[in-house]
Structure 1
Amino acid sequence: MTNGNGTPPETAPSPQLNVLAQYTKDFSFENPNSPASLAPQQQPPSINVQINVGASNVAENDYEVVLKVEGKAEHAGKLMFSFELAYAGVFRIVNVPQENLHPLVMIECPRLLFPFAREIVATAVRDGGFPPLMLDPIDFVSLYRQNMERQAAAQQQPS
């Protein structure tokens, strides 16, 4: 392909996303009512899990993305177990247009981190004496849109 004068067009550098590091930033698992909480139950526990994503620029093209996963299981009003995980990664992102950078950091980066966070939670719950908690896949696009809508609504409210 040529640019009309017989010479090949200038090619733009291709976008790159590199994982520089992944790590557990903070983790807590509590089983406060054991061994009673480990006894067989007639009904399954009520399980509540919340996911949040945060990011910060740590160098010119490097971003730390933190996936926060918090959850608890309760049965008959008693806490069976709870956990809090902050699983992070440092990502180098180059040759990405500015308008695409925020969605890339807040959607694709946590999507890459999630399987590792899921495994940490499943293993901790299993090691706490319960069946492994297999977190359902997360739609980070929907989570991103919800957060953007929430921020837009908060900015429109009078102070």
Structure 2
Amino acid sequence: MSDQSAPSSPIPNGQPAPPLQLNIQYTKDLSFEVPGAPEIFVQLKEQPRVDLSLDVQARPVEGGPNVYEVALQIRADAKVGATACFIAELSYCGVFTINVPQEHLEPVLLVECPRLLFPFARNILADVTRDGGFPPVLLAPIDFVALWQSRRGPGAQPVGTA
């Protein structure tokens, strides 16, 4: 019988390390631009249409075993007709220590870690758009499993193996 247990380094009290630990979370990059200010605020007569894009990136962090940075990349482009109202870009990251078998690493990095980060990124985007003079952009819950599965095409290289 082969040992399928996760690589684990015991924590000081002798217990195995937890499978997923969020060490820190932070805003890596935040940009908010209102290209047509101040005129856009005078001309704005209707709710802008907001186009959203979201991506998840993960990479190993040097200096620690089983340590990864996971980044949620969110972009919101708001327009009324052809007129740009605002552009918001957010890169919200977390540094995680992950102790799971290799075959579970990718779904943990691209599904479980973003689930933990998402509520905080959602709040930052809502605050920055509201503070920028527009209605807050409230992101709907994201199905990170479907996002991960859509990224996995034929010949896709697993995350964290580069």
TM-score scaled to structure 2, two decimals? 0.80
Does the C-alpha gap of structure 1 residues 24 and 14 become closer, same or farther in structure 2, counting only changes over 3 Å?
A: closer
Does the C-alpha gap of structure 1 residues 154 and 15 become closer, same or farther in structure 2, counting only changes over 3 Å?
A: closer
Q: In the alignment, what sits opposite 1:117?
A: 121
How many angstroms does 1:61 deviate by? 1.1
Q: In the alignment, what sits opposite 1:80?
A: 85
**Residue 99 (1) aligns with residue 129 (2):** no
Q: In the alignment, what sits opposite 1:6?
A: none
Within a 5 Å distance, the mapping from 1:141-156 to structure 2 comes to: 141-149=145-153, 152=154
Q: CA RMSD in A?
A: 1.9
Q: In the alignment, what sits opposite 2:71?
A: 66
**Residue 35 (1) aligns with residue 58 (2):** no
How many angstroms does 1:60 deviate by? 1.2
Q: In the alignment, what sits opposite 2:19?
A: 16
Larger radius of gyration: 1
How many angstroms does 1:26 deviate by? 0.7
State the identity %: 47
Q: In the alignment, what sits opposite 1:135?
A: 139
Q: Distance in 2 between matches of 1:136 and 1:123?
A: 15
- Structure 2 counterpart of 1:61, one-letter code: N
- Structure 1 counterpart of 2:35, one-letter code: P
Q: Distance in 2 between matches of 1:65 and 1:75?
A: 33
Q: Distance in 2 between matches of 1:56 and 1:111?
A: 17
Does the C-alpha gap of structure 1 residues 126 and 111 become closer, same or farther in structure 2, counting only changes over 3 Å?
A: same
- Structure 1 counterpart of 2:114, one-letter code: P
Higher helix share: 1
Q: Distance in 1 between matches of 2:155 and 2:46?
A: 40
Q: Deviation per CA, 1:85-105: give whole Å up to 9, x if none.
A: 1100000111x1111111111
Does the C-alpha gap of structure 1 residues 137 and 18 become closer, same or farther in structure 2, counting only changes over 3 Å?
A: same
Question: Which runs of 5 or more structure 2 residues have no equivalent in the other structure?
Answer: 6-15, 158-162
SS of the residue corresponding to residue 27 of structure 1 reads: strand
TM-score scaled to structure 1, two decimals? 0.82
